[in-house]
């Protein structure tokens, strides 16, 4: 995997941040336009996956260390759960939209819809981190077979 194309790696340097920003936009504006936490998270993680494919694992881990991604994964999920539990604490109903009652916001603006936007952010975090982890784990498995050069083929002879 050392013969990476220079063009691909240079271009990915430019494109990855743009994808990242677009992911944030899609996640934030999920309550107003097509999109939301899951697509936003997928786009966010695809920025890192692009880096992973174009420039290798080392360069990716400089951007997003494995441990941080693991933490973000759990934090995103817990954040989502906390939003649901806050609804329970504030209004007495699980998953109730507790912000919207007090801060209705202006419809069709970014700050509207109450808990929907925080929930989208939490989901975006969770999805981005876990998709990145999945791809990273798969790449780790794959590269370790490459390094051995000769995969374990002893069994196939039988």
Partner 1 sequence: MSVLIPLMVAVPLGAGFVMALLPGSSQRAGDLLAVATGIFVLAGAAALSPFVGSYAVGGWDPPIGIEMSRDGFSGLVLVVTAIVALAVILYATASMRRYTSRSRFLALVILLLAAMNGTLLSGDIFNRFVFVEIAAIASYVLVGFACGANELKAALKYAVLGAVASIATLLGIALVYSVHGTVNIAHLGEKIAASGPVMAPDSVVFIAAVLMLAGFTFKAGLMPLHVWQPDALDAATAPASAIISGCLVQTIGVYAMIRTAYAVFGATAPIGWIMVLVGVLSMAGGAIAALQQDEWRRVVAYTGISQLGYVVCAFGLGGILASAGNDTAAALAVIAALFHLANHAVFQSLLFLNGGAVEYAGGSNSLTKLAGLAGVLSSSAVPPFGGFVSKAMIVIAFVMAGYYGLAAVAVAVAALIPLAFWRVRSRPEPTERTPRTAAVPAVMTAPLAVLSALCLAGGLIALPALRSVTLEPAGQSILRYASPGTTTEQGQAATLIPSESVEQEEPDEEPD
Partner 2 sequence: MVYVLCAMLLCVGIFGLISQKNVIKIIISISIMENAVNLFLVVIGYRRDGIAPIITERIHESVQFAEKAVDPLPQAMVLTSIVIGLGVMALMVTMALRIYHVYGTYDITEILKSRKKAE
What x-and-dash track marks residues 56-95 binding partner 2 by CB under 8 A?
----------------------------------------
Residues that bind partner 1 (CB under 8 A): 70-71, 73-75, 77-78, 81, 84-85, 87-88, 91-97
Residue 112: φ, ψ to 5°: -150, 175
By beta-carbon proximity to partner 1, the closer residue of 45 and 115 is 115
Q: Based on CB atoms, which residue is closest to partner 2, 3 or 158?
A: 158
| Whole-angstrom distance, CA of residue 147 vs CA of residue 15 | 29
In the complex, the smallest distance separating the C-beta of residue 64 from partner 1, rounded to whole angstroms, is 17
Among 38, 48, 68, 100, which residue sits at the site for partner 2 (rule: CB under 8 A)?
A: 38
**Beta partners for 105?**
112
Q: d(Cα 94, Cα 98) in Å, to the nearest integer?
A: 10
- Using the rule CB under 8 A, is 6 a contact of partner 2? no
**By C-alpha distance, which of 49, 41, 50, 40 is closest to 15?**
50
DSSP H or E run through 87: helix 66-91
**Joined tokens for residue 45:** 């993680």
Cα separation, 37 vs 28, in Å, equals 8
As a whole number of angstroms, the distance between CA 99 and CA 89 comes to 12
Of residues 93-112, those binding partner 2 (CB under 8 A): 107-108
Q: How far is the CB of 50 from partner 1 (least distance, A)?
A: 26
Contact between 134 and partner 2 by CB under 8 A: the answer reads yes
Q: By the criterion CB under 8 A, which residues form the site for partner 2?
A: 32-34, 38, 107-108, 131, 134, 137-138, 141-142, 145, 151-156, 158
């Amino acid at each position: 995997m050392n013969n990476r194309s220079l063009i691909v790696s240079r271009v990915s340097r430019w494109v990855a941040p743009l994808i990242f920003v677009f992911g944030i936009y899609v996640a934030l504006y999920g309550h107003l336009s097509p999109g939301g936490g899951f697509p936003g998270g997928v786009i966010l993680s695809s920025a890192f996956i692009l880096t992973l494919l174009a420039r290798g694992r080392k360069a990716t881990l400089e951007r997003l260390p494995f441990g941080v991604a693991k933490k973000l994964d759990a934090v995103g999920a817990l954040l989502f759960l906390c939003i649901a539990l806050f609804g329970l604490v504030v209004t007495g109903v699980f998953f109730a939209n507790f912000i919207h009652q007090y801060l209705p916001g202006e419809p069709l603006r970014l700050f509207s819809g109450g808990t929907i936007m925080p929930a989208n952010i939490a989901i975006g975090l969770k999805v981005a981190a876990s998709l990145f982890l999945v791809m990273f784990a798969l790449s780790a498995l794959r590269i370790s077979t490459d390094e051995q050069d000769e995969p374990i083929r002893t069994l196939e002879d039988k």
